[in-house]
Amino acid sequence: MMFRSNSRVGYGHPHARGVSANVRARGTLRTGAFLCALWLVASCSSMFPTTYRYRMTVNVNAGGRIISGSSIVEVATSRGSGVPNSALRERIRGEAAAVRLPSGALVLVLLNDANYGDAAQRLAFAAYGASFTDIGPDPDTFALLKRLKAHREIVQLPRGDYPMVIKFENLNDPRSAVLADPGSIEIYRGGRVFIESIKIQITSDSLEYKLADMFPWWDDYLDKYLDGGTISITKFQDKSVRARVGPRSMSTEMLK
């Protein structure tokens, strides 16, 4: 009796199933490698952000005498890798500018705006705004950052763009902090004390952290607000500066 030999191996044959699985596995690996490469390309702007620094100098007029203080602020801008999205991301480093007044009080120009939101990333653009009047309605953010970094001249920040200003009556007491009006901080010996100007200059100077040495209570308040409270759901119902500001609003030193 003769048997017919069949050299073709059907897909139901165990060996054929193994070959098919290997082919699929290689295809999956190639697809994974391709997607990984795309992710690396997309995340480059996240791994290598565009960074610039500026010096913020606050000039206070105290009865005709100009007293100044400054700080260095760093802004790093990157685009998300797509996970969870590709939105622009900004990281702020630095601290508030401090000016010691003749009365002994200390004025701080924070990195927050009047609504307690971040202000540091917009101050340089606001100060150098005259050089960006030619931009279109949908500008390339990173092209604008390149232009911004090329500046070196000292410019004045418009008064309408001032960040939040607070004053400590007593450096030993965090609860002595009050919201300050830049145009009339206090009256000292019959003279008005006010912020005459805030100057901005793009710089390559190193970051400076000095505030921690000015307040003896600093280390005890790293996770607190100036009123001694911590974060809670009802916390933001209190609109006072002491309930909304703490060392983390004044300096990023603990995050460096």
Residues 48-97: pLDDT tens digits? 789 999 999 999 999 999 999 999 999 999 987 666 667 788 899 999 99
Q: What is the pLDDT of residue 132?
A: 79
Nearest in space to 60 (alpha carbons), one of 116, 128, 106? 106
Length of the chain: 256
Instruction: Write the CA distances from 84 to 43, 89, 90, integer angstroms.
Output: 12, 12, 15
Q: What is the pLDDT of residue 87?
A: 77
Q: What is the pLDDT of residue 248?
A: 86
Domain locations in the chain?
14-48, 49-255
Residue 235 contacts residue 229 (beta carbons within 8 Å)? yes
Predicted TM-score of the model (pTM)? 0.77
Per-residue pLDDT of the chain (256 residues; tens, 9 = 90+): 444 444 444 444 444 455 455 545 455 555 444 444 444 444 444 457 899 999 999 999 999 999 999 999 999 999 876 666 677 888 999 999 999 999 999 999 999 887 778 899 999 999 998 777 777 777 888 899 999 999 999 999 999 999 999 999 999 999 999 999 999 999 888 789 999 999 999 999 999 999 999 999 999 999 899 999 886 544 555 668 898 899 988 999 865 4
Nearest in space to 75 (alpha carbons), one of 42, 122, 43? 122
